[in-house]
Amino acid sequence: MEHHFGFPLETVAIFVVVVIFSVWLDLRMHKDSEDISIPNALAWSLFWIFLAIAFFFYLKVHHGDEFADLFLAGYILEKSLSVDNLMVFVAIFASFGIKGALQHRVLYFGILGAVVFRMLFIAFGTTLFGLSTWIEFVFAAIVAWTGWKMLSGIGEDKDIEDYSDHWSVRLTQKLVPIFPRLHGHHFVVSHGHVKTVVEQDSSLTVAREATVYATPMLLCLVCIEVSDIIFAFDSVPAVIAVTREPLLVYSAVIFAILGLRSLYFVLAAAQKYLVHLDKAVAALLFFIAFKLALQASNHLFHWPGWEISANLSLMIILGTLAVGVIASLLLPQKEEAEEERAAQPEKSE
């Protein structure tokens, strides 16, 4: 009789306690409004990798090599497949002009959504993933459009104060009451606050009156969550193909997703110092859009019949980022030009 892993009470308790405590600690350590540095982001990324490895050895000792190896294989696969999502996170935050610790807050609450949706995906198994094919075509177009917007906006580092003309507000303000300004780290604001601000600033308008209003922070969170769900349509079935043990699949996916959000800040912080890295990210968005459209075309029309493997995709992503890093180190002309322009007024005075 085939032996199943099931849901050992001790293992479930350890997994839940470790994840909840670590997520709480992560938020507490980043509750201020300061930008997250590369050493800090790298340390937290390594911390999540360490937790996954520690859980692997726990499984190895208490449940044997077979189940531990299945967990590790699923973890590595989910980690590599989720790197696509990392690039889309960068583009979404660039589109909304959200930076620093506000990004951490959005991604932290995005974790909660990822935990819930991954649980639903794994519970329903592969039956849910048949819905994704046409969605992938739509999302491929959105990712390509985002890449173009990011590419055309490279070099602009201005903060967005008024979101009235932002695409997210124009699309949603007829359905949801929107306050087109950031208000600290809040996702929603009260009617009283909006009324006070509108009275002080006559140029600011809202579509209609409501008890509470969504801020651009909430719209950004929704975009992050939607991108996470779309990519889950591909990554979760791949892990289920490795093992159909629900607890092993879920723990592997969650550890990978939590680490991915920490790894994001390594990339985000590096963009401040590597002036051509944003071009590499924009190029990768076009690649990801092509990959999504190719997958959907194969599923629907069985054409063209060839696919981009997970290993090849990861190599392309890492290689493109490496080119961006090397170009930034060898050709830092962007920073030099800015310094020269800043120095010119001083010389003329």
Q: CA–CA distance from 104 to each of 29, 44, 85, 262, 334 (Å)?
A: 11, 12, 16, 9, 28
Residue 203 in any domain: the answer is yes
> Which pLDDT score is estimated for 220?
95
Buried b (16+ CB within 10 A) or exposed e, 197-224: eeeeeeeeebbeebeebbbbbbbbbbbb
Q: Is the pLDDT at 338 greater than 80, yes or no?
A: no
Residue 105 in any domain: the answer is yes
CA distance 177 to 211: 9
- Contacts for 253 with CB less than 8 Å, ≥ 6 apart: 74, 78, 118, 122, 235, 236, 239
Q: Is the torsion defined by CA of 167, 168, 171, 177 positive or negative? A: negative
Q: Is the pLDDT at 12 greater than 50, yes or no?
A: yes
Q: Would you state the structure tokens that stand for residue 78, as one six-digit string?
A: 């989910």
> Which pLDDT score is estimated for 34?
66
Mean pLDDT across the chain: 84
Query: Do the Cβ atoms of 283 and 40 come closer than 8 Å?
Result: no
* Of 152-166, 232-246, 318-332, the least confident: 152-166
Angle at 90 between CA 172 and CA 329, to 5 degrees: 150
Q: How many domains does the chain have?
A: 1
> Which pLDDT score is estimated for 155?
61
User: For 95-132, how does the pLDDT look when each residue is reduced to its tens digit (9 = 90+)?
Assistant: 898 987 788 889 888 888 888 888 887 877 655 555 56
Q: Is the pLDDT at 17 greater than 60, yes or no?
A: yes
Residue 347 in any domain: the answer is no
> Which pLDDT score is estimated for 10?
95
Residue 342 in any domain: the answer is no
> Which pLDDT score is estimated for 286?
93
Return the higher-pLDDT residue of 250 and 38. Answer: 250
Q: Is the pLDDT at 341 greater than 60, yes or no?
A: no
Quote the domain boundaries for residue 57.
9-330
CA distance 258 to 271: 21
Confidence of residue 348 (pLDDT cuts 50, 70, 90): very low
Residue range 175-199: mean pLDDT, rounded:
91
CA distance 266 to 272: 11
Percent of the chain with pLDDT over 90: 34
Query: Do the Cβ atoms of 92 and 227 come closer than 8 Å?
Result: yes
Residue 171's Cα: distance from chain center in Å?
21
C-alpha count within 13 angstroms, C-beta hemisphere, residue 9 = 0
User: For 285-336, how does the pLDDT look when each residue is reduced to its tens digit (9 = 90+)?
Assistant: 999 999 989 988 988 888 898 888 878 888 999 999 999 999 999 987 654 5
> Which pLDDT score is estimated for 81?
84
Enter the pTM of the model.
Answer: 0.84
> Which pLDDT score is estimated for 349?
47
Residue range 260-283: mean pLDDT, rounded:
86
User: For 218-229, how does the pLDDT look when each residue is reduced to its tens digit (9 = 90+)?
Assistant: 999 999 999 888
Residue 346 in any domain: the answer is no
Residue 344 in any domain: the answer is no
> Which pLDDT score is estimated for 56?
96
Query: Do the Cβ atoms of 140 and 289 come closer than 8 Å?
Result: yes
Query: Do the Cβ atoms of 220 and 106 come closer than 8 Å?
Result: yes
What phi, psi does 175 have (nearest 5°)? Answer: -100, -35
Out of 10-14, 26-30, 110-114, 288-292, give the one with best mean pLDDT.
Answer: 10-14
Residue 349 in any domain: the answer is no
CA distance 84 to 96: 19
Residue 119 in any domain: the answer is yes
CA distance 182 to 175: 19
